[in-house]
Amino acid sequence: MMRWMARGWPRLWPWLLVLACVLVAVAGEAQWTGGSVGGGDFSSGGSSSGGSSDSDSSYGGGSGGDVFAAIEFFVWLFRVNPLLGFAALFALLLYGIWSANRQAGAAGHQDSGSVGSSVPSATSRRWFEVDLTEVRIALDGRARSYLQRELMEQGRRADTRTKAGLVALLRVVVRALKQSSSAWIYAGAKNFRPMSSILAEATFKRLAGEARAKFTHELLRKDASGLREGEGHGVVRSAEREGEGVVLVTLIVAASREIKDFEATSVAELVNVLDDLAALTDQSLVAVEISWLPAEESDRMSTATLEALHPDMKKLPGATGGRLFCTYCKGPFAAELPKCPHCGAPREPASSSATPPPGSA
């Protein structure tokens, strides 16, 4: 049994992702709204002769909706009968192991006798066809509403079935971000070296899945399979605890040329990489995924919450944000709030340390 499970483990992560999301949702963790739009084609190894007929034949961007539907079903099942819910999850896990082993066995039969015919040599340029980058920028209340509206509108209008449409979408989003650069407060970077098309596609899907996994209510999804919109879930978070809120925009881009590596430590670095992304053409762009969190106006997220969701993001110079501790009640709260939401005491400079004061819980 253990040997059977070990063989299927590498192909099991999608099932475990669903399981983890279900358990988090059932445990009553925060529910967040979000939106995403994207598409691309890795099948040609990053090369393209034109941008008018490139369909999303390889990048499975539309599968996220099925994952969210499965999560909602299991959450509902848990609420109806917890024992039945756990039984269903256990059955799903066993089915995933069985399916992974079956696929691995089939692949082994297909590949036998043909190893080496499709694998490029160690010096082949096919190992360095596609470069990837992920840019994350969090904007404060000065631009939050504007970005939320702009991304929803552009997501609806975007032509995600062609490379030309994806390039146009990327440039519009880059322009909107640069116009709001005064509101940038946090940033995150993930740089990669050029890699094979197969590895790049797997990495791209993983990054896109991680970004969309941060929210549980997807209000908009646009990809090659079409537009899907969900109704507002009426998520309301107290402005006294979350403030004006921030919006986190994530850009994941794959290209058939090298993308500039960058450090998420300054506005200048971010502007440079955004300009580089905007310079991509329908011949050099392979795929793009854009997501934002939260997507609903009333769904506020403070900088303290942002740091909890993305601990690797860095505060930009001069930005205000993070978690403070009240001088009086010792409770944690977001640095942008004028007073402690727990006891009402005004924020004082002495409480600006992110380290809990002595005696705090």
Q: What is the pLDDT of residues 299-329, one digit of tens each?
A: 888 888 888 888 999 999 987 765 556 666 6
DSSP states along 207-232: HHHHHHTT-SEEEEEEETTEEEE---
What total of structural domains would you count in the chain?
Answer: 2
Q: Residue 336's domain spans which residues?
A: 322-361
Residues 261 and 333 in one domain: no
Q: Is the same domain home to 183 and 149?
A: yes
pLDDT at residue 160 tops 50: yes
For residue 268, is pLDDT > 80? yes
Percent of the chain with pLDDT over 90: 43
Task: Return the residue matching tokens 């106006």.
Answer: 297
Q: 350 and 250 in one domain?
A: no
Residue 100, domain member (yes or no): no
Helix, strand or coil, per DSSP, at residue 278: helix
Which strands make up the sheet holding 247-255, listed edge to edge?
Answer: 226-229, 217-223, 33-40, 285-293, 247-255, 131-139, 184-191, 314-315
The pTM assigned to this predicted structure is: 0.66
**Best-predicted range by mean pLDDT (9-18, 91-100, 186-195, 329-338):** 186-195
What pLDDT does 84 receive?
73
Please choose, from the candidates 237, 242, 245, 239, the residue with its C-alpha nearest in 3D space to the C-alpha of residue 141: 245
User: Is 109's pLDDT higher than 70?
Assistant: no
Task: Compute the mean pLDDT over every residue in the chain, rounded to the nearest whole number.
Answer: 75
- Residue 325's pLDDT is 60
- Helix, strand, or coil (residue 155): helix
C-alpha span between 116 and 123 (Å, rounded): 14
Residue 338: asked if its preceding bond is cis (omega within 30°), the reply is no
Per-residue tokens: 19: 């399981």
In a domain, 175, yes or no: yes
Give a yes or no: residue 89 inside a domain: no
